[in-house]
Chains A and B, each alone.
Chain A
């Protein structure tokens, strides 16, 4: 419209985008093409496609997939039951509250809980299973990760369940569908958007965890996140770290593009 004054707000905001969104990604890409002596080279990429890194990438994806799957399995019924509960807003607040507690503290708590003399082992002993090594295992890594990601999976699912028009369920029942059929044919398809954004909110961070791997998995599990941290802060091989980061950015972009487009399509 002619009356519009120029959009002056764009100046500081565009500056922020340029400096902290565009520049860092450009720099990461730039560094991924530099070898450890600072020469232009593709050696980082060549290195990335060796079996060592490929195995690490595969196991990262495998763990992220497991974490996402278990989060979904726990979060969906929880969200579903929450929408049915009497004081659902209060319940929801109570379930989200732990997610506001510093991540480090929760991870630290599990060191105590899963420790050799911790509560978990005391429990196992009392039911006659005896002490087990829990800390520094794949199990503890996946368990703690799922614990941390549950709220992120739960919220979008809860929201999409809340948006669901209850008369649709009544309509399905009216047309003769059993509760299970109603869920399978009506409720789940209509909340698939929430499931997708929940999976997105869990899978991408799960792929790049490094703090939990260090504290809980005790370096037994090496993920792409751990590798980046290792290269940047320990071995100082920024080029290799940047290469893995570029890979993560690409994976993220692909996931965003795929889930984003489908969602738009489903709505239209």
Chain B
């Protein structure tokens, strides 16, 4: 009786704590959204409802081009890095010697654990050395580069999950090497490939530090643009833009959730920087 009452009390304290964490996590985002409708033009003192800032976002051609750039970079880089990452995962999976496998995995993870600033700085040196002009190309290449290991990490568990006898079975039924890959292996690891593509997409959309180093003068992505505008102070068109981006993020997450629903694990997706 006593224990039960105590248990129920504990439950409500627990919920209170969770709600508090939850509120703090969402407060800044909702704050942004709220003031994006503020006619007053600042992030304090609500002066009435307006859609003016949204209008400003949609009439700002420079901003729209940057949004377009960001998405083009994200789509291209995640498509290419997904292809490369799948090949990489297959390569690692095929290596039999444990030492070689671990060595490859460690090299793979360098770009994941390396601080963004170091990646950005070292890519800047690399591109300058090989003479790649800073701009669209350099940003695209660096986004591909840092997305590959994420795709590898998303695909590799699926490959390990796959029973080796499935490949034997396919060969036994007459499949050639290419047919084994296209008819058995790739369909089997498809969820991993999708997850990898999705992660690469969000890594690219959100990247700031690496892009900031390799972007040069003429070219910009959203993160870099928001940074330079935020340094100049509050502008509610950024709020409007954030609201739109937040909605878009929610859509992406819902999409990802639906793709992954079968495995029922969001934890696999992980948080992202």
- From known contacts A13-B84, A93-B266, A245-B121, infer whether A104 and B29 are also in contact, taking CB-CB under 8 Å: no
Q: A110: nearest residue on chain B (CB-CB)?
A: B28
- CA A151 to CA B266, docked complex, whole Å: 13
Give a binary string over B109-122; 1 marks a CB under 8 Å from any A CB, 0 the rest: 01101111111111
- From known contacts A205-B116, A245-B122, infer whether A20 and B145 are also in contact, taking CB-CB under 8 Å: yes
- From known contacts A78-B21, A108-B230, infer whether A159 and B267 are also in contact, taking CB-CB under 8 Å: yes
Q: Does B90 contact A (CB under 8 A)?
A: yes
Q: Quick one: which of B23-47 are within 8 Å of A by CB? A: 24-29, 31-32, 35, 42-45
- CA A94 to CA B29, docked complex, whole Å: 13
Judge whether A242 and B148 touch: CB under 8 Å: no
Give a binary string over A87-116; 1 marks a CB under 8 Å from any B CB, 0 the rest: 001011111111111111111111111010
Judge whether A101 and B249 touch: CB under 8 Å: yes
- CA A4 to CA B167, docked complex, whole Å: 12
Q: Quick one: which of B242-273 are within 8 Å of A by CB? A: 242, 245-246, 249-250, 252-253, 257, 264, 266-267, 269-273
Stretch in B54-62, B188-196, B203-211 touching the partner: B203-211
Q: Which residues of A contact B11 (CB under 8 A)?
A: 84
- CA A91 to CA B238, docked complex, whole Å: 29
Q: Quick one: which of A146-193 are within 8 Å of B by CB? A: 147, 150-152, 154-155, 158-159, 162
Q: Does B131 contact A (CB under 8 A)?
A: no
Q: Does A58 contact B (CB under 8 A)?
A: no
- Which of A82, A111, A200, A208 contacts B117 (CB under 8 A)? A208
Give the Cβ gap from B202 to chain A, nearest Cβ, in Å.
6
Judge whether A105 and B245 touch: CB under 8 Å: yes
- CA A21 to CA B17, docked complex, whole Å: 42
Judge whether B242 and A208 touch: CB under 8 Å: no
- Which of B107, B116, B271 contacts A99 (CB under 8 A)? B271
Q: Which residues of B contact A204 (CB under 8 A)?
A: 113, 115
Q: Does B87 contact A (CB under 8 A)?
A: yes
Judge whether B88 and A211 touch: CB under 8 Å: no
- Which of A78, A159, A256 contacts B18 (CB under 8 A)? A78
Q: Which residues of B contact A1 (CB under 8 A)?
A: 96
User: Which range contains the number of B residues in contact with the other chain?
Assistant: 35 or more
- CA A77 to CA B17, docked complex, whole Å: 9
Judge whether B115 and A252 touch: CB under 8 Å: yes
Judge whether A112 and B35 touch: CB under 8 Å: yes
Give the Cβ gap from A41 to chain B, nearest Cβ, in Å.
17
Q: Does A36 contact B (CB under 8 A)?
A: no
Give the Cβ gap from B37 to chain A, nearest Cβ, in Å.
14
- Which of A24, A31, A158 contacts B119 (CB under 8 A)? A24
- Which of A105, A147, A215, A245 contacts B25 (CB under 8 A)? A147
Judge whether A104 and B125 touch: CB under 8 Å: no
Give the Cβ gap from A250 to chain B, nearest Cβ, in Å.
11
Q: Which residues of A contact B242 (CB under 8 A)?
A: 101-102, 105, 108-109
Judge whether A155 and B270 touch: CB under 8 Å: yes
- From known contacts A13-B84, A96-B271, A208-B115, infer whether A23 and B44 are also in contact, taking CB-CB under 8 Å: no
Q: Which residues of B contact A214 (CB under 8 A)?
A: 231
- Which of A109, A122, A248 contacts B118 (CB under 8 A)? A248
Q: Please list the 9 inter-chain residue pairs (A to B) with the smallest Cβ-Cβ separation, ordered nearest first.
A: A112-B43, A24-B122, A151-B271, A208-B115, A109-B28, A9-B91, A99-B271, A13-B88, A117-B44
Q: Could you list 14 examples of A-B contacts with CB < 8 Å?
A: A4-B94, A10-B91, A13-B92, A21-B110, A101-B245, A102-B205, A104-B227, A113-B31, A115-B43, A117-B44, A208-B117, A215-B227, A232-B120, A252-B113
